[in-house]
Amino acid sequence: MPHILEGAVVRDQILESLKPRIAALRRKPGLAVVLIGNDPASEIYVRNKIKTSAELGVHSEKLTPPESISTQELLVLVQDLNHRPEIDGILVQTPLPRHIDTRRIMEEISPNKDADGFHPLNVGHLVANRPAPRACTPAGIIQLLKHYHVPIAGSRAVVVGRSDIVGKPLAMMLLHESATVTVCHSRTVNLMEECRRADLLIAALGKPAFLTIDYIAPGATVIDVGISRVTDALEAARLGKAAEFDRKGFVLVGDVHPIDVTHHAGAYTPVPGGVGPLTIAMLMANTVELAESHAAAAA
C-alpha cells in the first residue's frame, strides 16, 4: 500500500513551532487580508485564514471594499496598509474583478510586507536563494516532503503546470534542494513520457483527474496540488466516489486520478487533506517572519 502524505500533521507542526516565536515578540504580528467580490472559494479561504490567525494569536484584519473599486482606489488602500506599522503582512486575495489591474496591485504591496511571496523582488530573492517570503503552497510542499523524509536531492522531479503561484516557484525551490527539475505545461510534447520519468511528480495543472496511471512511474511520490468540484454523478462514480457523491451531491478531486494513484504511487497526497492545509500554515509562517524582521529593524 502506498504511503498517504497527510498535510494536517505537518500543518499542526508548523503552527505549533510558531507559537513561541509569537510569544517572544513585543506585539502580535499583524496580517491584513483584502477580499473583493463574492467568489465562494476565496471567501472560504479568507475565513480560514482569519480563523487560523485568531487561534495562533496573530492580529488579523479583513478589508472588504466594494466590487466596484477602481485600480487606483485599491492602490491607495494598499499604500495605506504599507504605511501602517502594526501590519506586518498584506495579502490581496485573488482573483480580483476583471476591471482591476492585478499586476499593479501586487507590485504595490511593499516587498517587506508581502505575505504571499508574489512581489517581483521576492521572486528574485527566491531565484537567488536569498531569505524572503516564499509562495505559500510551494513552500508548504517542501515542508511536507521533508517531514515525511521523501528524498529530494538527486531525485527527478516533474512539475506539471507553470503558474506563477505554484509551478514556477516550486520548480525553483526543488532546484535549490538539488532535485533535477522538469517543468511541463500545455505545449509539452509527450507529457505522459515526461511524467513517467519522475521520482517526484507534482500535479498543478487544474484539470480534474487528468493524470491517470499511465502518467505515474511505479513507486513515484505524487503531490497533487489541484482541487476541483465534480457535480456529475457518473463522473464521480468513474472516480470511485459514488457513495460520497450520494451523501454530498458533489465530490472534490485533484489533478491525479484518485483510484489510479493508489495503485501505482509509492506515496501520495490525498485530495482533500494533502497540500491544502499547508498553504495557510505557510502564510502564518511568512507573517511571523515578517514581524520578526520588522521588530529587529526597529530595535
- 268 within 8 A of 256, measured Cβ to Cβ: yes
Per-chain mean pLDDT for the chain: 96
- 72 within 8 A of 17, measured Cβ to Cβ: no
Question: Domain limits of the chain?
Answer: 27-113, 136-278
Give 143-173 as a DSSP string: HHHHHTT---TT-EEEEE---TTTHHHHHHH
Is the pLDDT score of 211 beyond 90?
yes
What does the alpha-carbon distance between residue 9 and residue 12 come to, in Å, rounded to a whole number?
Answer: 5
CATH assignment, 27-113: 3.40.50.10860
- Give me the catalytic one of 28, 88, 93, 199: 93
- Give me the catalytic one of 49, 113, 168, 241: 49
- Give me the catalytic one of 88, 113, 114, 116: 116
CATH assignment, 136-278: 3.40.50.720
On the question of a common fold for 27-113 and 136-278, the answer reads: yes
Exposed (0-12), middle (13-18) or buried (19+): which is 141, by Cβ within 10 Å?
A: buried
116 is a catalytic site residue: yes
150-155 mean pLDDT = 98
pLDDT band at 41 (very low <50, low <70, confident <90, very high): confident
- 1 within 8 A of 268, measured Cβ to Cβ: no
- 3 within 8 A of 266, measured Cβ to Cβ: yes
What does the alpha-carbon distance between residue 202 and residue 214 come to, in Å, rounded to a whole number?
Answer: 15
Hey, CA dihedral for 122, 127, 128, 131, is it positive or negative? positive
49 is a catalytic site residue: yes
Residue-wise pLDDT tens digits, 60-102: 999 999 999 999 999 999 999 999 999 999 999 998 999 999 9
